[in-house]
Amino acid sequence: MTRALVLDFGGVISKTLFETHDLTETALGLAPGTLTWRGPFDPAMDSAWRAMQAGGMTERDYWFLRMEETGALVGETWTTFPEFIARVRGADPASVIRPEALEAIASAKAEGYRLAILSNELDLFYGADFRAKLPFLADFELIVDATYTRILKPDPRAFGFITEGLGIKSADCVFVDDQKKNLKGAEAVGMPFVHFDVTRPGDSYAQALSLLRT
């Protein structure tokens, strides 16, 4: 039986911007501790994050807010996410890829499982040239990006792009996402899922691989 590991990108494969505030502050010449928004790492101190989790704003709205705030700190105006990412993360995106992700991807591939990505904003957020800087993406048979499809998770149609593209049943996939609301789409189509805990990435990947092997 052919099975597939289906991963979100931001937060699951890549470290979140919350985890790399030190890199951002260095890149922008800001004093350590300037950036205080911590999202899931400290929800009590991030009202915008709580609003997003409650459905009061979209994930894109949240990051537009943080982009504008961060740009204002250095007197710059960024109009696109790729501009933002380029300034805060530089030209080496490989440095913020989770090592746990690379290990899990390698394990899944070695065991004969198929690999796919289902993202709401991969190229929108990182830029179209981003993928060329990450050789491991060549291991993914299918990348579905709502930057182009315009169908955002948790819409069940987004998951349909995966099953149709791979020619596989929902039940034979394991979907991994750090945004709990996106998992509702997987649940709606009968796709097993793991809620990725960005504070414990190794445990989340172990859970995903275990579910895949079941």
Q: In this predicted model, what pLDDT tens digit does every residue of 51-85 receive, in sequence order?
A: 999 989 988 899 999 999 999 999 999 999 889 98
The gap between the terminal CA atoms of the chain, to the nearest Å, is: 12
Dihedral angle over CA of 83, 84, 85, 88, nearest 10:
120
Across the chain, mean pLDDT equals 94
State the pLDDT at residue 128: 80
Name the 3-class secondary structure at 168.
Answer: coil
Confidence of residue 129 (pLDDT cuts 50, 70, 90): confident
Nearest CA-CA partner of 172 in 164, 180, 163? 163
Structure tokens at 207: 């859970």
Residue 10: pLDDT above 70?
yes
Contact 28, 74 (CB under 8 A): yes
pLDDT at 91: 64
User: How much is the pTM?
Assistant: 0.88
Average pLDDT over residues 9-33: 94
pLDDT tens per residue, range 154-164: 999 999 999 99
The pLDDT score that the predictor gives to residue 124 is 86
Q: How far apart are CA 88 and CA 21, in angstroms?
A: 9
Distance CA 185, CA 181 (A): 8
> CA 94 to CA 190: how far, in whole Å?
33
Q: How deeply is 83 buried, as exposed, middle or buried, from its count of CB atoms within 10 A (0-12, 13-18, 19+)?
A: middle
- Residue 48 to residues 12, 45, 66, 181, Cα–Cα distance (Å): 21, 9, 9, 16
The type of residue at 192 is: P
The answer to whether the Cα torsion of 16, 22, 28, 31 is positive or negative is positive
DSSP class of 57: S
Closest CA to 109 of 136, 145, 133: 136
Tens digits of per-residue pLDDT, 83-104? 998 898 866 778 889 999 999 9
Which positions ≥6 away from 150 have C-beta within 8 Å?
none
